[in-house]
């Protein structure tokens, strides 16, 4: 019983972090119908940066996101303006290929600059835990979860309570309608891409503490995050939250009752089962086909 509660608690903590990481991806997809395969590489890039900051200055890795988040915001904005805006209007598959190429470039650059070795930021609280009754919650997980929740709340606030957020949501739902009322498509898209990238600022910082990583780790991460997005329904933020929770639980439960080796695979199986029953994902809307 304790095992189960422990696994569920851990699963939800990890799920919260996954939710943050996937939210940026689903936001970008929702607004631009772009699947940003480079999102995983962004995460690893931030993790590297965080690790380096921590290693050089001793600054707390999770706190380092105060630096990395605006950095990634700018990075995303520039990337959109320089690269993705050039293929606006061509098919969605081209954006997949472009961001895939971008991910490889980031991986390649990291390979050369940072080396092909596993790294992990280990702050002082790395091996400590909070004890709640019989279960123990590692401090790093708790801090990561809290940071993720704070950012998700901020993101939710921006999307629902500010003009910028309304513009982004308007562009998500009806691009041409949004353009008519003064919401420029390119500007909004760049903004959404920048915000989506900025979420990796916190996500990557948390990652650097919770998981060992090396340049090629981004494949594992992007496939997990994309899995979450497909499971929840492409472009749906609530879907990303639920999908992330399911991934977190699937991983910790498999690790507790089975073997860690199979945990990712269990998640993929969950996705396939869900897609078998609901091809559009849990919260996904069926594409409406129109004649005009």
Partner 1 sequence: MSRLRALPRAHLIAGLCLVVLVLYPVVNPWQPYPQGVMLLAFLLAIQASSWNIISGYAGYISLGHSMFLGLGSYTVGVLAVRFGVNPLWVAPLGGVTAVIIAVLIGSVVLRTRGHAFVIITIAMLLAAQIFAVNLKSITQGSDGITLELPFWDRDFQNIPFYYVYLILLVLTVLFSAWIRRTKFGTGLVAIREDEGKAASIGVNTTRFKIVAYAASSFFIGMAGGVYAYYLSFINPVGSFAILGSVTIVLATLTGGRGTLYGPVIGAFIVQVVSEAATVYGGGSQSRVLLFGLALMVVVLFLPKGLLPTIEAWWRRRHPEEVEYTDQTGALSRAPATTTERVRAELAAVNAEDAIAPGEILLDVRGVSKRFGGLTAVDNAGLTVRKGTITALIGPNGSGKTTLFNLISGGMAADSGEIWFDGRRIDGMRPWRRGHLGLGRTYQVTRLFKEMTVQENVVAPLPDSRWRTMFSDAVGGHEAARARELLDIVGLGRFANQPAGALSYGQQKLVELAQVLMLEPKLILLDEPAGGVNPSLLGQLTEVIRELNRSGVTFLIVEHNIPLVLDLCDPVVVFSHGAPIAEGPPERIRTDPLVLDAYLGDDWRPAEDGAADEGAGESDRTETATREAVQ
Of the pair 48, 62, the CB lying nearest partner 1 is at 48
| Angle at alpha carbon of residue 232, lines to 246 and 263, rounded to 5° | 35
Residues 87-146 touching partner 1, rule: CB under 8 A, are: 87, 90-94, 96-98, 100-109, 111-112
Binding of residue 179 to partner 1 (CB under 8 A): no
Among 59, 125, 268, 270, binds partner 1 (CB under 8 A): 268
The whole-angstrom separation of Cα 179 and Cα 182 is 5
Give which of 36, 21, 40 is closest to 217, Cα–Cα: 40
Stretch that binds partner 1, among 12-20, 67-75, 246-254, 283-291 (CB under 8 A): 283-291
Stretch that binds partner 1, among 140-148, 158-166, 204-212, 272-280 (CB under 8 A): 272-280
Residue 39, classified by CB atoms within 10 Å of its CB into exposed (0-12), middle (13-18) or buried (19+), is buried
Neighbouring residues of 245: CB distance < 8 A, sequence distance ≥ 6 = 11, 12, 15, 19
- Asked if residue 225 lies in contact with residue 38, where contact means CB atoms within 8 angstroms, the answer is no
Stretch that binds partner 1, among 65-73, 139-147, 197-205, 273-281 (CB under 8 A): 273-281
Tell me 22's DSSP state: H
We find the least distance from the C-beta atom of residue 107 to partner 1, in angstroms, to be 5
Stretch that binds partner 1, among 125-133, 191-199, 205-213, 277-285 (CB under 8 A): 277-285
Of the pair 93, 176, the CB lying nearest partner 1 is at 93
Give which of 94, 103, 136 is closest to 10, Cα–Cα: 136
We find the least distance from the C-beta atom of residue 96 to partner 1, in angstroms, to be 6
We find the least distance from the C-beta atom of residue 143 to partner 1, in angstroms, to be 29
Site string for partner 1, 216-255 (x = CB under 8 A): ---xx-xx--xx-xx---x---------------------
The whole-angstrom separation of Cα 31 and Cα 215 is 28
Which two tokens mark 27?
Answer: 């936001």
Total residues in contact with partner 1, by rule CB under 8 A: 55
Beta bridge partners of 132: 135
We find the least distance from the C-beta atom of residue 35 to partner 1, in angstroms, to be 6
The whole-angstrom separation of Cα 56 and Cα 247 is 34
Beta bridge partners of 130: 137
Among 29, 80, 145, 214, binds partner 1 (CB under 8 A): 29
Ramachandran bin of 269, using left for φ above 0, alpha for ψ from -120 to 50, beta for the remaining angles: alpha
For the four alpha carbons of 238, 43, 214 and 140, in that order, the dihedral sign comes to negative
Residues 36-95 touching partner 1, rule: CB under 8 A, are: 37, 83, 86-87, 90-94
How many residues are present in the chain? Answer: 292
We find the least distance from the C-beta atom of residue 66 to partner 1, in angstroms, to be 30
C-alpha Rg value of the chain to the nearest Å: 19
Give the residues lining the site for partner 1 (CB under 8 A): 29, 33, 35, 37, 83, 86-87, 90-94, 96-98, 100-109, 111-112, 219-220, 222-223, 226-227, 229-230, 234, 259, 261-262, 264-265, 268, 271-272, 275-276, 279-281, 286-289, 291-292
């Amino acid at each position: 019983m304790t095992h189960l509660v422990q696994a569920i608690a851990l699963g939800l903590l990890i799920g919260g972090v996954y939710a943050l990481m996937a939210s940026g991806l689903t936001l970008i997809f929702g607004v631009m119908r772009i699947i940003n395969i480079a999102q995983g590489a962004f995460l690893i890039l931030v993790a590297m940066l965080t690790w380096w900051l921590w290693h050089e200055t001793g600054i707390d890795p999770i706190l380092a996101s105060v630096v990395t988040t605006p950095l990634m915001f700018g990075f995303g904005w520039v990337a959109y303006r320089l690269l993705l805006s050039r293929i606006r209007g061509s098919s969605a598959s081209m954006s997949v290929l472009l961001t895939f190429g971008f991910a490889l470039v980031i991986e390649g650059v990291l390979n050369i600059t940072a080396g092909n070795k596993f790294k992990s930021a280990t702050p002082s609280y790395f091996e400590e835990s909070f004890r709640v009754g019989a279960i123990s919650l590692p401090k790093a997980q708790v801090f990561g979860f809290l940071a993720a929740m704070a950012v998700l709340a901020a993101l939710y606030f921006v999307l629902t309570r500010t003009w910028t957020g309304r513009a982004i949501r308007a562009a998500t739902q009806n691009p041409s309608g949004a353009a008519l009322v003064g919401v420029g498509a390119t500007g909004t898209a760049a903004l959404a891409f920048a915000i989506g990238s900025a979420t990796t600022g916190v996500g990557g910082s948390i990652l650097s503490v919770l998981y060992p990583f090396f340049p090629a780790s981004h494949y594992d991460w992007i496939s997990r995050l994309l899995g979450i997005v497909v499971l929840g329904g492409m472009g749906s933020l609530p879907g990303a939250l639920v999908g992330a929770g399911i991934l977190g639980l699937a991983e910790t439960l498999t690790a507790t009752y089975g073997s860690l080796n199979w945990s990712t695979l269990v998640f993929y199986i969950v996705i396939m089962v869900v897609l078998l029953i609901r091809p559009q994902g849990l919260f996904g809307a069926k594409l409406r086909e129109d004649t005009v």
